[in-house]
Structure 1
Amino acid sequence: MVKYQEAELNDIFAALADPTRRALLARLEGEDALSISALAQPFDVSLPAVMKHLNVLSDAGLVTREKTGRTVSIRLQAKPMSHAMEWLARYEHFWTERLDRLAAFVEATPDADPDPETAKSPKRRKRPKPTAKKAL
């Protein structure tokens, strides 16, 4: 079961990794269903390229296709994203806890200056200037 979940998460994150696929999902978010040609209309890519993106989204379970006559309608399926959100929530808790501890440490440090412009930089030793060699 764990391997199935890992494969499902891999497919979801791979599908969401592409900006065109995220834009396709965003278009579907506000609509009940769109035909493939209506969905592809605002994108500056070919219809076959949109079809390939939809195949990736479909394989990840993020969209479903429904054929009525000659028209194929695409619908958003948000349920698989809940699995990804659950996975991300675990790491959100992890990082929130770590960042809270870091903030407490920084606030407790007496010499901490939050303004980088007024913070004193460490003193640097100056290098001696090279001397010119005199010609004999």
Structure 2
Amino acid sequence: MSEKNQERDVYVAIADPTRRKLLGLLADAEELPLHELTAQFQMGRTAVSKHLAILKEAGLLADRKVGRETRYRLNAAPLREIQDWVTFYEKFWKEKVLILKNLLEEE
């Protein structure tokens, strides 16, 4: 798998704590410009822009130009894949805990 394809994967996109924080900031606002997002980090605009590009490639962000400014907004729909994956394993662990509980009660 090429690096470009990995960047489009929602799991790869949210693996980084900076990108998760960006998603959190955008979840709390309708949309935010790059300079407001950059102000939340101890890194430059270029570094924040690279993180935003990865999130955008994964379909997690939309952007629009307003004059010279780019504004970003969250598109949470791709996170459904992660929710479904976690839900599957939640069922798995609930079943395992129930089996363990039954075994312990039998003893």
Q: Same fold (TM over 0.5)?
A: yes
Q: Which residue of 2 aligns with 1:63?
A: 61
- The structural deviation recorded for 1:94 is 1.4
Q: How does 1:15-54 map to 2 (within 5 A)?
A: 15-54=13-52
Structure 2, gaps ≥5 residues long: none
Structure with the largest fraction of helix: 2
Higher normalized contact order (CA 8 Å, seq sep 6+, divided by chain length)? 2
Percent identical: 37
Cα drift, residue 46 of structure 1: 1.5
**Segment drifting more, 97-106 vs 55-64:** 97-106
Q: Structure 1 residue 47: deviation in Å?
A: 1.2
1:15-64 deviation line (CA, Å, top 9, x unaligned): 11111100011111110000011011010112111011001100111111
Which structure would you say has the larger Rg? 1
Distance 1:64 1:58 in 2: 6
Q: C-alpha deviations, 1:43-90, integer Å up to 9, x for none? A: 011211101100110011111111111110000000110122112212
> Which one of the candidate residues 86, 89, 92 is aligned to 1:88?
86
Deviation readout 1:101-127 (Å, 9 max, x if unpaired): 112222333xxxxxxxxxxxxxxxxxx
Cα distance in 2 for residues equivalent to 1:103 and 1:57: 42
TM-score, with structure 1 as normaliser: 0.69
Counterpart residue number, 1:97: 95
Of 30-39 and 10-19, the range deviating more from structure 2: 10-19
Correspondent of 1:77 among 75, 78, 102: 75
Q: State the aligned residue count.
A: 102
Report the RMSD for the aligned CA atoms in angstroms: 1.7
Q: Structure 1: how far apart are the matches of 2:49 and 2:98?
A: 45
